[in-house]
Each structure stands twice: as C-alpha cells, then as structure tokens.
Amino acid sequence: MRVQTFKGGIHPNYNKSRSEKAAIECVAAPKEIIIPLSQHIGAPAKACVEKGDMVQKGQVIGEAGGFVSAPVHSSVSGQVTAVEPRPGALGVDVLCVVIANNEQNEMAPLKGLENWKTADKETLKNMISEAGIVGMGGATFPTHVKLSPPAAKPIDTVILNGAECEPYLTADHRVMVEYAEDVVEGLQIIRKILGAQNGYIGIEVNKPDAIAAMETACKGTDIKVARLEIKYPQGGEKQLIEALLKKEVPSGGLPMDVGVVVQNVGTAKAVYDAVTKGIPLFERVVTVTGSAVPKPGNFMISIGTPVSVVLAHCGVDLDTAGKLILGGPMMGFAQYSAAPPVTKGTSGILVFDAKDVTLVPPVACIRCGRCLHACPMRLVPAEIAAFSECRMYDKAEEFDAMDCMECGSCAHECPSQIPLVQKIRLAKQEIMAARRKKG
Amino acid sequence: MSKQLIVSSSPHAHSGTTTSKIMWTVFFSLVPAAAYAIYLFGLPAATVLLSTIVFCIVFEGLTNYAMKKPVSLKDGSAALTGLILALTLPPGLPVWICGIGAFVAIVVAKSVFGGLGQNPFNPAMTGRVFLLIAFPAPLTRWLVPSGTGDTLFGKNVSAFDAAGNLVDAGSGNVDAITAATPLGLLGEEGAKAVSGLDTSSAFLIGNINGSLGETAAFILLAGGIFLLIRKIISWHIPVSFMAAVAVIAGLTNLANPEQYAGALFHLLSGGVIIGAWFMATDYVTSPMYNKGKLIFGSGCGILTMVIRLWAGYPEGVSFAVLLMNACVPIINTYTKPKKFGLQQLGESKEAANA
C-alpha cells in the first residue's frame, strides 16, 4: 500500500524499541500533587479553590480564564495545601494548586452521554470544553477552540495525528494499540461537531501494530487509515496535511484555512472519555525512556505528579544523568531539575547519561545547504540564524523567520552544530516584540 | 538533586555528521588518486603533495594566530585545500612555488575574507590560477610518467637539466623528462594529434602526463562516487558539468572531427573529473539549491569547453570554476524556492479580489 509523506524533513535515529512494546502501566499518584493553572496555550485558568478546601478527583480547581483557555481539574482527592508559584517546565515558576492526596480516590460526580450521536453539537463541544481538553501532542492548544471554526471556514476533513514522529516517544503508539476503539469513537465525535465528511488517521509505518489496530477499529466506518513514511516532522500539522491531502496551509494561516482540523490521537481518546463518561483530562500517557532510564515504558500518570516521582518509579538515578527533557528530543524542553509536574502536554520524559550528552562548540557555517534541504517550510535556516546573530531582526523577518515552527530539523542536520533553532527563536521573539510596539 | 543536568535549546539530537568528518571524508576520497600520482611520477609528485599540504596547514595556523581566532586546523579544511591544490599542480614543481600557491589559497583567497565559509572563490583554484599566471613556465612543464620511453603520444620527449636548460635525453645530467599533455597537443596541433588516444589503454588507465590529479580519471571518479554514496555531495553539479562538456565536445567533434576531439577525450583529459566532482562541489563556493547546482555545473562545463576550444589556454577547468564561483550569489537569489504555503496564499488573495 502507498506510503505518503511531505517534502523535506530528516531521518533521525528513532530509538523507540525500548518502550514501543511496553503496555501502558498505571503509576499511583504521590502524596503531594502539584497542578499548574496554565497547562495550555492561552489565558491561564483561575483558581476556584483555596488553601484548606477538600477536593474530589475530577473536580474543577481552576476555571477557564477566557475563550482560548481551559479549566483544570484535580487528579486526586484530598486537601488543598497551597495555591502558590512552583517550578514549571519552562524554567520559570507558575501558579499551581498543591493538593495533599488522601488516597481515597473519591470521585466527583461525573456523567457522560449514553448516546452522543443524538446530542447536538453545542452540548458535545461544551462537554469537551468543560473537561479541560487541550492538544496532547505537546502544543496544548485548547481543543474546543479548534472545534469552533468561524462560519466562513467550513471544515471538510478531520485528521487524527498518529504519526508520532518525535524519536523515543511511544505514548501515542500505545494509545492507538490499547485504546483503538476509543480513539476512533473520539474521531467520530469530532467529525460530528465539525460536520466534516472526511476522516483520516495518519500513522508512520514503523507502527504496524497500531495501523492494524486502527484498521480493525475503523471497520464499518468511512475513516481512512493512511500509512506515512518514517520521517521527521511527519506529525507537524502542516506536514501531515501536505502528506495526506497534497495541500499547503497558507503561510501564517491555520489548517482550517484549507478546511482541515488536525487532532492528536491522545486528544481523540480524551474527547471520547469526556463525552461518553464525563471524565475530565486529569491523567495522560507519558513515555519515560532514554539511556539513563533502567526501566523504560509508557505510564498512565496523574496530571500534577512531579517528574521526580515518575523517575523514581522507573529507577532513574538523576545524580549520574546528563540531561532531562520533557517532551521529545527534537522539540522538548531540557530541565534543570525534576521538580516540575507532569502536565496535559507532557508526552515524554527522557533522561540521558552524561556520556550521551555533549555540548559541542559550533564551528563556521560551510554553506553546505543541509539545513535548507531539511527545512519542511522551505526556509534558509542558516541565513535567518546569521541575521539573528547580527541582531538584524528586520532582515530575519524578511527571510520568513515567522514561518519557522522550530521543528529542529535544521539544527539536527547542521554539520557545524550551529544552534540554528535557538537563534531563530530569538529572532521570532524580537520580531513579535517589535510588532507589539508598533501596535 | 543532580548537579550536572545540561540545559540547552532544542533539538537535543544531532545527526552526528560534523564539518570535520565531511572534510576528512573528502580528503580520504582523494588519497587513492594522490597515491596513484606518486606511483606514476615518483618523488616529484610526493614532494609537491607533501609540501603543498604542509604549507597550507602552516598558513592556516599562522593566520589563526595573527587574527586571534581559535585554531581551526582540526576541521581539516586546510589539509583538504592543500591536497586539492597539489592535485592541480604539475609533478616536480619547486617547493617554493608550492608554498606561494598555498599562501594564495589559504591567506589571500580564504582567511582575508573571514576564514572557512566566507570565501567567495574556491581557495585551491585561486591558488592554482595565481601560479599559472605568475609562473607560466614551471606550471606547464609536464613530467612524463616513469617508464615512458623516448616518445609519448608519438611525440619526442624533452629532457632538462637541473637548471632548466634543454639537454640531450641521453646525456648524464638529465633532471626531468617532459612532454606536452594531450590537451596541449590538441591545442597546438588539432584533433589529428590525439586521434585514437581516447581508446588507448594507457590513456584510459591514466598512464599519461599532466597535473597530479589529471591522470587517474577512473580513480578520481570512484572517489567522487564514494562521496555521492556517502551523501557528502549531490549528483547535480558533477553530472551537469560533465554533461555540458560532453555535449559541446560531441557537437564540435561532429561538425569538424579534424579540428575538434571527441567527448570521451575531453571528459577524461585535463581536470574535468577532479573539477566536476571535487572542486565545483565545494559547499562554500557553490549554489545551495538543486536547480542552482544544475545551472552552476553546466556553466562550469560550458566555460571549460569555451576556454579549451577557443581561448589561449589548453585547459580551462580552474578558470571556469572561478568564473562560476562569482555567479553563485546571483544563482542562489534566483533559484530560491517559494516558502511553504505561499502559493495558496496567492490564490486566496486573488479569490478575495475577484
């Protein structure tokens, strides 16, 4: 069968073998849970509990702070011990609700729909919004916003992203294998809300068991399971649309500009849980792997569990580790401590031995062109980075710095090991700052 | 709590291909050709190779020191420039001339522009062309391969003493025996002088005179294909370069076989192979996009043939590559593809206007 893909991109070492066969294992929530109020793109949630309050599992503890926002729920039952800033995954402190887990697992009253097919679109959308569902591939964009396109942009196609092109990560893979029917049902709910005729599930061919599971679950539906070439960043929204539909999302535009909505497979499962069982997003599947992880695997982890607790469960000795990354190796964030909690967007926790982590000083650009051949957006990363280096941010903008999605393909290929993404990111921030100044 | 967690910007993975690995891979892909030159010409070839490489490394180190830059010898680019430059020089070239060539290549053509990655012209080519113009006589004194008799390609060889005077080949004080190169013969006497040469086994296996790297066409070709397989270079420049040479040679040969030699002769003689696979493909001085590489390669081939057929020099590869180096910025500008998602934006704008 035909394997589809996009132009550009790279072939990194995938390193998925250590965890791809490991069934999802539940990790008990620790004594203390730290739940950030901002786990998504958009306005932070507003705390609606105070120190001393008793909370139940699944209870709202932070209300959405606007339309582009999402509520936050407790993942345990217990008592709120603090609402205060704690270390977050981006290196700065974020406002968190800290809960002492009473280990009673007292559930908040949750109610799903017995038959979602008879429910109207608004009801379904509200359930998703109230469940606090955000994009679980890592971008954490509130899902209900994606499901509310303006009337001028009708959506005809929903694509579920099961590419999981980031090396090391296998969480989506396991979700597709173990929750195939939930994922497909979630896709059908999303299609109903958007009125989309077409449904696709795109999966890289290095996950044959996931493709088989999805094809079985899709029997009797009109959903197409598409095989994708093993290439990074195959799971980028725009690349996935290019691969499956041969359409380019306009520069500066969104998938809805070509009538498409892309959702992660994990998000589809969360949608299913929210609509049919009323369960809000308070736990997720996280891949824990890397050379410094003696017991790698895929784990169902309560949101708010400190990374250190997960690492202890996997037998990691952080004293000998060289690097700790939240997310994948291509776009994840390196951490200086294991104190931050697992959030809705944490798809992976990677720990590498010190010997596997080297910081090489960059050498001169030799204009080999590897970066521009790797760039899926057809930019010239080396040039943008050079302008950024010289603080010529207006020139960087002219060379389309804002089209960069920071996938890291260029820096992965750069033989001179120039931190291209870091420099382009700086240029993007400066360009945004200049635009805000102009108004 | 760990004291040694490294915090750095994403991506946290790297392909493992580094600049110095690339440079040394190219270097070693040329070693067989260099070894063949030593086998063919003996000590005079070894002297040129060794002295040029050492001079290049020394000048690189000195300019690093003078410009207070970190020492860049490890990246291998200086050694590679030295090796390529040596392969374009005639065996037996005096060491001091090799030193001047190395100086021009490393200091004048590269370091003054800011070092590796900043030079507009191929350093080795600049060094060679400078020597060719400054020292035309030593640069066109072509030693014959060891074991050659009194004639090469049907022409008498010339013998020189240590002072460079023409002497009788049988006399006791012969220092060097030389002859015109096939391209030189072609330039002077037309295609008849080299007819039948392109099918002779001596020519095909490279048992001819010329620069160190002009003889072993098939060994060089193997090195180039090795680079292609290792994905160090792409096919665009070498193939378009050789295709342009072959097409022009073929057409002119068809039109007038008396005057013009055929495609195979032109491809395998002189510097076409080393030029197309190792010099024109220099990352720094060649275009970045595939379309631009095709334009650049065919431009090199066309200019090479124009110089060979209708200009004063019998060989034109180095001039052609340098002239095309000058066109690289403009080629890059006009071959830059539209960024992702621009076409659709244009369409939707039109739709909005309509």
A379 shares its domain with A343: no
A239 shares its domain with A277: yes
| pLDDT tens-digit series, residues A161-218 | 999 999 999 999 999 999 999 999 999 999 999 999 999 999 999 999 999 999 999 9
User: Going along chain B, which residue ranges are E strands?
Assistant: 151-152, 155-156, 158-160, 166-167, 176-178
For A269-305, give the DSSP string. Answer: HHHHHHHHH---S-EEEEEEESTT-SS-EEEEEETT-
Contact A12 B15 (CB under 8 A): yes
A387 shares its domain with A264: no
| Cis preceding-peptide flag for A44 (omega within 30 of 0) | no
A184 shares its domain with A210: yes
Contact B313, B319 (CB under 8 A): yes
Contact B241, B278 (CB under 8 A): no
B193 or B338, higher pLDDT: B338
Nearest-CA distance from B315 to chain A in Å? 28
Half-sphere exposure of B334 (CA within 13 A, CB side): 9
Residue B231 has pLDDT above 90, yes or no: yes
The pLDDT assigned to B148 comes to 64
Residue B201 in contact with partner chain A when CB distance is under 8 A? no
A282 shares its domain with A199: yes
Residue A95 lies in a domain: no
The pLDDT assigned to B204 comes to 67
Half-sphere exposure of B111 (CA within 13 A, CB side): 28
Query: What is the CATH classification number for the domain harbouring A279?
Result: 3.40.50.11540
A246-250, B250-254, B262-266: the lowest-pLDDT one: B262-266
| Cis preceding-peptide flag for A12 (omega within 30 of 0) | no
| pLDDT tens-digit series, residues B278-300 | 999 999 999 999 999 999 999 99
Domain limits at A387? 370-438
Residue A46 lies in a domain: no
Chain A residue closest to B21 (CA)?
A: A415
Q: Binning pLDDT at 50, 70 and 90, where does residue B193 land?
A: low
Cα distances (angstroms) measured from residue B229 to each of A366, B29, B226, B234, B235: 20, 12, 5, 9, 10
Contact A330 B343 (CB under 8 A): no
Residue A69 lies in a domain: no
B contacts of A252 (beta carbons < 8 Å): 341, 345
Q: Binning pLDDT at 50, 70 and 90, where does residue B24 land?
A: very high
Which of A332, A358, A384 is the last residue in one of the domains?
Answer: A358
B12 vs A325, A338, A378: nearest CB: A325
Number of domains, chain A: 2
| pLDDT tens-digit series, residues B70-106 | 877 778 899 999 999 999 999 889 999 999 999 999 9
A415 vs B12, B17, B341: nearest CB: B17
**Amino acid letter, B281:** T
Contact A412 B11 (CB under 8 A): yes
A325 shares its domain with A304: yes
Q: Binning pLDDT at 50, 70 and 90, where does residue B347 land?
A: very low
Residue B14 has pLDDT above 50, yes or no: yes
B339 vs A251, A325, A422: nearest CB: A251
Residue A110 lies in a domain: no
Residue A111 lies in a domain: no
Q: Which residues of B73-97 are buried (b: 16+ CB within 10 A; e: fewer)?
A: eebbbbbbbbbbbbbbbbbbbeeeb
A316 shares its domain with A194: yes
Q: Binning pLDDT at 50, 70 and 90, where does residue B354 land?
A: very low
- Strands lying side by side in the sheet with A60-63: A46-47, A60-63, A72-73
Percent of chain B with pLDDT strictly greater than 70: 80
Half-sphere exposure of A340 (CA within 13 A, CB side): 27
The pLDDT assigned to A387 comes to 95
A265 shares its domain with A343: yes
The pLDDT assigned to A237 comes to 93
Residue B177 has pLDDT above 80, yes or no: no
| pLDDT tens-digit series, residues B117-172 | 899 999 999 999 999 999 988 887 777 776 666 666 666 666 666 666 666 666 56
The model's pTM: 0.89
| pLDDT tens-digit series, residues B107-124 | 999 999 988 889 999 999
Contact A257 B348 (CB under 8 A): yes
A296 shares its domain with A406: no
Output the six-digit token pair for A295. 């017991």
The pLDDT assigned to B41 comes to 86
Residue A72 lies in a domain: no
Adjacent-strand bridge partners of A352: A323
A279 shares its domain with A257: yes
In this structure, which long-range contacts are made by residues A84-88, counting pairs with CB atoms below 8 Å and at least 24 apart in sequence?
Answer: A86/A34, A86/A36, A86/A339, A86/A340, A86/A341, A87/A337, A87/A339, A87/A340, A88/A36, A88/A38, A88/A340
Contact B341 A406 (CB under 8 A): no
Which of A358, A383, A400 is the last residue in one of the domains?
Answer: A358
State how far Cα A20 lies from the chain centre.
Answer: 18
Q: How far apart are the first and last CA of chain A?
A: 51
A322 shares its domain with A382: no
A170 shares its domain with A288: yes
Residue A91 in contact with partner chain B when CB distance is under 8 A? yes
Residue A64 lies in a domain: no
The pLDDT assigned to B175 comes to 65
Contact A403 B340 (CB under 8 A): yes
Segments of chain A with pLDDT less than 70: 1
The pLDDT assigned to B270 comes to 80
Which of A301, A334, A358 is the last residue in one of the domains?
Answer: A358
d(CA A438, CA A14): 44
Residue A47 lies in a domain: no
Chain B residue closest to A401 (CA)?
A: B339
